[in-house]
Every structure is written in structure tokens, then in C-alpha cells.
Structure 1
Amino acid sequence: MAITDDAIKQAEDRMAGKRDHAHAISARYDCRSERVIIRLHSGLELAVPPHLVEGLVGATAESLSEIEVSPSGLGLHWPRLDADLYVPALLEGQFGSRQWMAHQLGAAGGRSRSQAKRNAARANGAKGGRPRKNQA
């Protein structure tokens, strides 16, 4: 199949439509602030702590410093970590898959120390606590 000038023009027009969304033009890891700095086409720069992003948690500065921006600017890729980040999702506050995000929220809830949680634990303890599992 030969690629015609018309086919190239149509592809460029489709790509131009995708550029209506925010897209990255560069990305780097700043060791001093321990943040991934993403520069968007609008001039806006985002500073994201790697511990908030699925696939980047616990990564070394050396691994984080090698970042590839996709040709469309919609994705970031860390080859050493085999991790990817979708830029529009990042702007919506999604730092990973639904399952990963739910785990992060659950872990944060488990660490909370509110008065309501203390009262609930006391009330449960007054009833004898959590029932023991029967061993079969």
C-alpha cells in the first residue's frame, strides 16, 4: 500500500485535533526538589512527586532521570522502569490505575487518627472486639 500525500494530510489533520488537549513538550527529573517536572505546550510546568505515581514509587534518581515524551506529547515513558504516564489523566488527578489509586486511598484511611475512628475502635472493643476466625 502506497502512502499518498492526501493520506499524510488526513493523518496530520487528525493529529492536530488531538492537540486540543494539554500535551507535554518536555519532562525531566529534578534531583534537588525530588520532582518530575513536566512542561506543557501552554508554558505551564507541573512538579510531580514520584511517590504519588504508579510505577515510579521507590525508583532511584538515575532511573527517574531518563524520561521519553511521546511524539503526541500525551504520554511519558520511563524506559528503565517500564512505566508510563498519560498526561491528560495526570491533569485530572489520576496517578495510576483505578486499583492502584484505591489501594493508596485505603492505606491513607487506615493510617488516619480521627476522633471518630478512635470512638469506633473503643465501641468495638467494648463488644469484645473482632470475632475470631474458626479454624476448620
Structure 2
Amino acid sequence: MGELTEAEIDAALRRGAQVQIIEPRADSARYDRANDRVIVELTNGCAFVFPARLAQGLEDAAPEQLEAVEILGAGAGLHWEALDVDLSVPGLLAGVFGTKSYLARCAGASRSPAKAAAARAKGGRPRKERNDKTAGKSHR
């Protein structure tokens, strides 16, 4: 790849400045131990609060670990060094608290009386079909 021209550098700087204005950025972040929530103050004066246990990588963290939150990339992300966790501020504001597979596991793991009643009304969970190779074998 060749050298960048002054025009390309100027255009990139203009795009970066525009993103700083448009995208939400963290000005500060802290963990509220009493309410088990992460509070993010944004550069536009708004604030965003979410339960720490909702985010992938934070669900089993100790309060001391959660208190060590840092801001990354001009406010674009939150970072917990001891937990090796990075979360995107725009992603959090969009309701993305983890990867697709993590969120799918969370959704499937929810239990409620309404969900149980709906499953029973449909006949419950179908039994797994066993293939001929495993039929008759005992498993521990």
C-alpha cells in the first residue's frame, strides 16, 4: 500500500471529527456497587445505565473488578483489564450486551411461568431421537 496523501489524511480527520459528533461517546464510566449497575456519562450530556450482570464477561465479576472500568478509544468503548472485557458504547446503547451466540444462550436460558406453560401447551420439548449406533448402550 502506498503513502497517504495530505488530502486523504485531511479527509480521514474530517470523517473522524464527524463521527465524534454523531456517535455516542463515553465521557466517564463507573460501577455503582449498591445497585449493581454500570453508569456511563456521555459526551452529549446524556447518561446510560445498565445492570452489570447483563453484559457478556461481567456476569460473574466481583464488585472490585467491575469498579476498574476504563474508557477506550476517545470514548468509543469500555474496558475491564482484569476481566479482559471490552464493550462498545454505541453497541451498548443499541442494546447489544454481547455476541450473537451469547445473547442467544441468554434468551434460551430464560425461565418464567408463562414460558413453561407455553411449552406444556405445545406438548413439551420433543424427545431426542437416538440413532442405531447409540441404541442399547448405557451412558454414565
Aligned match of 1:45: 47
Is residue 29–residue 40 contact of structure 2 (8 Å, CA) maintained in 1?
yes
- Alpha-carbon deviation of 1:6? 7.9
Cα distance, 1:89–1:135 mapped onto 2, change above 3 Å:
farther
Classify the secondary structure of the residue corresponding to 1:106: helix
TM-score using structure 2 length: 0.77
Aligned match of 1:130: 127
Classify the secondary structure of the residue corresponding to 2:104: helix
User: What value does the CA root-mean-square deviation take over the aligned residues?
Assistant: 2.8
- Count residues in correspondence: 128
Aligned match of 1:16: 17
Percent of matched pairs sharing the same residue = 38
Is residue 48–residue 93 contact of structure 2 (8 Å, CA) maintained in 1?
no
Q: Distance in 2 between matches of 1:22 and 1:135?
A: 59
Runs (5+) with no aligned partner, structure 2:
1-5
Q: Distance in 2 between matches of 1:135 and 1:23?
A: 59
Q: Distance in 2 between matches of 1:60 and 1:28?
A: 14
Runs (5+) with no aligned partner, structure 1:
none
1:43-78 alpha-carbon deviations (Å, 9 max, x no partner): 111111111000101101100001111132111100
Pick which of 11-20 and 49-58 moved more: 11-20
Structure 1 runs, 4 residues or longer, greater than 6 Å off: 5-8
The one-letter amino acid of 2:64's match is: E
Classify the secondary structure of the residue corresponding to 1:47: strand
1:69-128 alpha-carbon deviations (Å, 9 max, x no partner): 1132111100110101001111111100000000000111xx23223222234xx59xxx
